[in-house]
A and B are shown apart, each in its own frame.
Chain A
Amino acid sequence: MAQRLVLRRLLSLTPRTLSPQGPLAPHGRAFSTSAGCRNTFNVQDGSDFQDRVVNNPKPVVVDFHAQWCGPCKILGPRLEKMVAKQEGKVLMAKVDIDDHTDLAIEYEVSAVPTVLAMKNGDVVDKFVGIKDEDQLEAFLKKLIGA
């Protein structure tokens, strides 16, 4: 999809970053104190992925998504919510496949959303497409328990 370099910079300077005091509103990209956001983070680059996902002692679900993908916008928040319910036993990493194409290609992502379950650096489970809350809960529990 097209990008306008100027606008992207503009959008990144929104009130969120410029807000004066008080806790900032919970948002996927900003720091926040809400439990859900502590367990979820956006992958910054390849080495960040290595540190926080591959080398993480805790199991991590990796949500490969794209800005242009409608179903991703539904699955993302739903998965975040279910991850939060697990009270820190599993973490969630979000990877935008256009920003991190190498990573997406390395993990053979074709369609989005693709969610990988990773434990000790290995992919132990995965699914593609939307799932409902019960299915997600089962997926996460299996990852934690196994």
Chain B
Amino acid sequence: MKTFLGRFILLLLLVLPTTVMIFESGASGKFVALGDDSMEGEIDGEDDDDEGVVETDDATGDDGEQAVTETEKPEKEEEEEVDTSLKPSQDVDATILFTKPVNTNDLPSGKPVRFLVGFKNNGEKDFTVSSLETSFRYPQDYSFFIQNFTTAVYNQLVEPNKEATFEYGFTPSEAFNSRPFGLSILLNYKDNDGNEYQSAVFNETINVVEPDEGLDGETFFLYLFLVAIVVLLGIGAQQLLTTFGKKHLGKGKAAPKVEMGTQKTDVDYSWLPQETLQEINKSPKGSPRGGSPRKRKSKRGSGEE
């Protein structure tokens, strides 16, 4: 046990500068304890090896030559396991305001949605707002992306005690009608030292609804078509009724048609040559085209009808 303790104390002395650095960096302070735990575990398990071989304890991606970076790596991996996302900065106040549509969680599909993001720098350093990401996520699991909208790149510098506003617009697709989505709007920014931050200005579930169209071409012609069908049915019914009525009632009423023959109508003789006209006027019976009225009728009858 004493050799264990001795080795352990020696290692701690070597590791002290790095632990001091970790304590200084502030934000990752809470992960120091976990890092220490992993270090202890590894030391206990590999007591045969030298202190310098600590780097082989780490599973992957360990290519540092210096002891400092190597011992930092297990802590970093521990960090990454717990939280890989960027955090908002304490000096920044980010808000959102939807300008279209206002005050509702129902977004009409096919219509643009616009909002303003306000960014206020309450700190002492400059901030640079890099970009704004908007995405639709699965409402039950916000880490699953359904649609990612275009990232707006601003790269605007905001000095201390100043505000800035950023506008963004997107249009939900009509394919997403009548479904709830998790809308996630993230603002990325960084400070002078290059630290990156991210603020989730909106992270709630919204509904995509069908817009209330009103009268448009399709519905107008649909109603016109229905009216036409009704009229057609009416006409059909009317025809049926008349034929039915004629069958039952109309047998005796229609008078039998009597053939009367052709009467003497005004016939135009002006196109006949002069000689023929004179002959006709001389002898009405002996006209070249003469014949009994019946014959004439039969000759004409084929052409008349």
The answer on A and B forming one complex is: no
